[in-house]
Structure 1
Amino acid sequence: MLNKIKSWFSVPQSEVALTHDFLDPSKKTILIIDDDLPQHDKSSGSKRLFELLKLFKKLNLNIVFLPNNGLKLEPYYTELKQYGVEVLLNNPDRKGLLKTLNQLLNKIDYAWISRPMLNIEFQKLIKKNKNTKIIFDTVDLHFVRMLRQAENENNEKLKRKALKFKKLELELANKSDATITVTDTEKVLLENENIKNVYVVPNIHQLQIPLQEISFKDRKGIVFIGGYKHEPNIDAVKWFMHEILPKIWNSLDKIPVYLLGSFPTNEISAFANENVFVPGYIEDVSEYFLKSKVFIAPLRYGAGMKGKIGQSLEFGLPIVSTSIGAEGMNLIHENNVLIADEADDFANEVIRLYQNENLWKEIKENAFKAIVAYTPKVVESKLETIFKNLGA
């Protein structure tokens, strides 16, 4: 199946060729490959990867980053350079980029490759150096997300596609020296398929405790965040707006709703009115988390750890989520989150949380405790174990 998928090419962009003397011979070298430079302020996947780069630096590794599109996106390129990350760009085009990569192959100890399609693209090339350890970062298990969407939409064609993708992801995992999932749930799924050397590397979060806390009675509104290039987020907002919010407004009047996130589609933007705000990309969203009363994650399908849930936990903003939204973070209903999977139940939980100060305070306090498992120190320890086991 892998051999049937061809390479794709990116827009040329010139860049000064690397001399390779940036690699400290006393350190091991890790190559990271993703679709583009991590735009950490626009998606949870990019935020996770950006935080991982910082941890790789703490682990005393030379770091080389290859964006598959070969483009020098600012300010992200400059940020990586400031962290001591070398970036391979089109030089002057993709052919030059791949030539530079070939010249580096014998210096690479670990290749951390994101997502299935990039592993198809690069695993064989990188394995020219038999000593390089391939690390397949699933980001999320695509076949799980696709199967859930197919079930939600009763779509047999998508189900067949998902099963083909499952075969592909398992094949890639078998060819890798280590496979990374973001949750224990996905790790167990792969191990049940006889995949070896599976490790959990979750999203990375830090507590965001303000100097002056805004009280329950002074907060107002419901907030959601999610990039709208991701289909599960679009579905979540549509379900919430059509089937859940009318029930909430019927009980709580028209409290404000903030639909945050980059790249809102025309369909999402059309929800905007005097009570619903769709601002698009905002560099700093902290104000919304600090002043709103409830965070919602009405995800009906998806996979992996949801960055939006972690982001809300960082601020201690109480959450109402579906089971799929809360998946993989060991969250407990009525302890650190409220969980509901039907529209009526979801609306009722939002209303209850919005009105019950004692419940709100309990969920908030426990939310801060829940995020500790995803702090940089904990994830750094997980990475140390992976590299120790891989040797190289």
Structure 2
Amino acid sequence: MFLFSRVRERLGALRRRRREAGQPRAAELALEVAMPWIVSESRFPEVRSEPDPLVSVVIPAFGELPMTLRCLHAVARAAGGASHEVIVVDDASQPSLVDALGSTRGLKVERLEAQRGFVGAANRGAAVARGRLLVFLNNDTAVCDGWLDALSRRLLGRDVGIVGGQLVSPDGRVQEAGGIVWRDGSATNYGRGLHPEAPAVAFARPVDYVSAACLMIEHRLFRELGGFDERYAPGYYEDVDLAFRVRASGLRVEYEPAARVYHLEGGTAGTDLGSGMKRFQERNQRVFRDRWPHVLLQQPTRELGPDLARVHGAGRACLVVDRQLPTPARDAGSQRLSRMLRELLEMGWQVTLAAFDLADGAERPALESAGIEVLRRPFVHSLEAYLRAHGRRFDRVLLSRLGVARRLLPTVARLCPSAGVVFDTVDLRSLREGREAALRDDSRARKRAERTRKAELRMVAKADATLVTSPIEREYLARQNRIATIAVVPTSYPVVRPQMEFERRSGALFIGGFGHAPNVDGILWFLDEIWPRVKILLPEFQLHVLGEEPPQELYRRARAGVHIHGFVPDVSAFFEQVRMSVAPLRFGAGLKGKVHQSLALGLPCVATPIAAEGLGLMPDLHAVLAAGANDFAEGVIRLNSDRDLWQRLSIEGRAHVGRYFSDDAMRAGLVQALSARRGS
């Protein structure tokens, strides 16, 4: 009877969720909630027990055999790849859980002879655990697929001491997505009531604490810290106190949304603050406050609000809007933006990112895992509506590309009154358009470029700071606006020593997205004017062309030895196989990622002056530079046969990029731009 009443309850919740509008996957999530409870109490699960487990899952339990069985079924079903053992600690239940669970294959059951509450039971479980990592899990939970692997990956990251998952109520709404501790010692579960995939709770971040209903910590660290403090026995605030002790040791406490755990909340302890376990909640808050008075002075007050307090230690908030979410495998602009976002996080900023049209993207999970909040439909219907509700919390707004800045800057100025605005040109479109117009001697294109130039200068004048990718662009803008703050933020590529030697390489590589006009023009010019000259002396020479959406014209002009690969997600193998890259660009602006990346990877490049612009390259020291078709073909032929030249370019090109286009250079430009305010 108990089982079927719970089934009806869960399916009723499912039907209610289906009726709700604007909540994506609500019905599926509600069904996922219901399913762990639709399990026969007469069927015992089989759990894994490995001889040398990475993780020990410790489940304190007091009575509630059906609830504990459902928890074990979920753990067994969602085991994942991490090797683990499962330990149930019976907190002196009557009747004993040992008798009921003793036949469960793979399960280790410990029994306390006297009731010690969650704190004592958890510490006992840790004492007999064999895993390098410990997970404390309430018995009124149902874990989801991938939970253990997600927690383990996060904990094994740099300087992480505790990780907690996303707790979801049986109705499919968030119960806790990390916790906030206020200055008075009270605590708040962040995200309560939100959809589990809502942007505010879908990104990983450092937090004040995570609930012991699902908490992972390294076994050695837990032991060194003395476990859960017994002064909080039988329970409540032991997890908050442990988080503060872990942070005092120099490690972070992190929230991992990919570890989703459904939690009955009160299923074990009840909900009445005046009776049962819950009566210890207020008492232990006082104990906690008395223990950490000086640290609590550094915590925010409730007036700050949960949205600004949700990230531990992060003071300032920055909104970044680009044309689309970055696709770093596809274009250099996305690679630069991805590295800028990483730098902002490392500088201590809370980062919120949005595509101008709020479209989703394949890279979103990786961005959220890195700690970036990503606004998207259907959770956010318009940027204006979002900024009307949240605009005042942003200290800076970075608008990427002219089209985005032109359409959004007035809205930002109105709804984010305290935010400084940074205009990121990505590359100067007017410079690129003007050069193309000159190349084609097109008067209409010249007029279009002039209109673009005036629009860019209006954005420069209205913004608090402007970002460019090279000193040449900074000088170009500075001549037209002498009072603007213009910061150089170049792309930074990791410098890597090439593995393959000169003799084992052959052919050339062109890489670039073909939605970008300079790339289309450049490769067609190369095939028409340069390739025939190269093939006269190097008849076996091969050219590999990589890039998204190659036009039909490219296929029509391709000749023998030209291989058009289209989009390639991982281009590293090509950089190790070919002898050189070619960058035959005749117009453009900004740093060219194809040249920059090639030098960083130690692959010598033959480039036009336009392609090498802004990099400060010396001919035959950092790259082979050639303007006309004859010179370019001669450069390819010479580099193909001159081993000493190849070695020099490989070594010096890498050194040059590492010296002038590092993460430090990117950070210095960002610091300058984010510190600037008009009139100051």
Settle same-fold status: TM greater than 0.5: yes
For the residues of structure 1 that align with 2:672 and 2:455, how far apart are their CA atoms?
27
Instruction: Give the structure 1 partner of residue 675 of structure 2.
Output: 388
1:313-372 superposed Cα distances (whole Å, 9 cap, x missing partner): 111111110000000011111110111111011101111111111111111111111111
Other-structure match for 2:212: none
Identity over aligned residues, as a percent?
29
Partner of 2:569 in structure 1?
Answer: 283
C-alpha displacement at 1:53, in angstroms?
Answer: 0.5
Task: State whether residues 24 and 62 of structure 1, in contact with CA within 8 Å, keep that contact through their aligned partners in structure 2.
Answer: no
Contact 1:16 1:91 in 2 (8 A): no
In the other structure, the counterpart of 2:480 is 193
Hey, what's the Cα distance between the residues in 2 that align with 1:208 and 1:271? 34
Paired position in structure 1 for 2:438: 151
Matches within 5 A, 1:27-46: 27-46=315-334
Residue 87 of structure 1 pairs with residue 374 of structure 2: yes
**Partner residue, 1:267:** 553
Q: Which residue number corresponds to residue 454 of structure 2?
A: 167
With 199-208 and 380-389 compared, the bigger mean Cα shift is at 380-389
Per-residue deviation, residues 59-101 of structure 1 (Å, max 9, x unmatched)? 0000000111211112x11011101111111236744x43123
- The structure having more radius of gyration, on CA atoms, is 2
Residue 360 of structure 2 corresponds to residue 72 of structure 1: yes
489, 504, 509: which is aligned to 1:223?
509
Quote the Cα distance in structure 1 between the aligned partners of 2:672 and 2:572.
33
Contact 1:225–1:308 (8 Å) recurs in 2 = yes
Provide the rounded CA distance (Å) in 1 between the counterparts of 2:529 and 2:613. Answer: 22
* SS of match in other structure, 2:421: strand
- C-alpha offsets along residues 11-34 of structure 1, whole Å, 9 cap, x if unaligned? x99674748945337510000000
Match of 2:663 in 1: 376
The 8 Å contact of residues 293 and 317 in structure 1, kept in 2 or not, is answered as: yes
Partner in structure 1 of residue 644 of structure 2: 358
1-side partners of 2:421 and 2:674: how far apart? 11
Deviations 1:266-301 (A, max 9, x none): 222344566211111111111111111111100000
Counterpart position of 2:141:
none
Q: Which of these residues, 475, 494, 499, is aligned with residue 206 of structure 1?
A: 494
Cα distance in 1, alignment partners of residues 668 and 486 from structure 2:
16
**Could you state the TM-score of these two structures normalised by the residue count of structure 1?**
0.91
Please name the residue that 1:4 is paired with: none
Number of residue-to-residue matches in the alignment: 377
Q: TM (normalized to structure 2)?
A: 0.53
Output aligned runs, 1:19-34, within 5 Å. Answer: 21-24=306-309, 26-34=314-322
Partners in 2 of 1:17 and 1:338 — Cα distance?
Answer: 47
Query: Structure 1, unaligned stretches of length 5 or more?
Result: 1-11
- 1:184 Cα deviation from its structure 2 partner: 0.4
**Residue of structure 1 in register with 2:630 after alignment:** 344
Q: Is the counterpart of residue 113 in structure 1 residue 399 in structure 2?
A: yes
**Aligned-pair CA distance for 1:375:** 1.8
Tell me the secondary structure at the aligned position of residue 112 of structure 1: strand
Structure 1: 4+ residue segments shifted above 4 A: 12-15, 17-20, 271-274
Equivalent of residue 524 in structure 2, options 238, 244, 248 = 238
Q: Could you list the runs of 5+ residues in structure 2 that have no partner in the other structure?
A: 1-21, 25-196, 202-304
Partner in structure 1 of residue 421 of structure 2: 134
Which shifted more, 24-33 or 308-317? Answer: 24-33
1:315 alignment partner AA? L
**Residue 334 of structure 1 aligns with which residue?**
620
Work out which structure has the larger RCO, using CA pairs closer than 8 Å and 6 or more positions apart in sequence.
1
CA distance in structure 2 between the aligned counterparts of 1:17 and 1:260, rounded to whole angstroms: 34
Aligned mates of 1:382, 1:108 — CA distance in 2? 20
| Aligned counterparts of 2:440 and 2:23: Cα–Cα separation in 1 | 41
RMSD value, Cα: 2.0
Q: Decide which structure has greater strand share.
A: 2
| Contact 1:18–1:100 (8 Å) recurs in 2 | no
2:464 to 177, 191, 210: 177
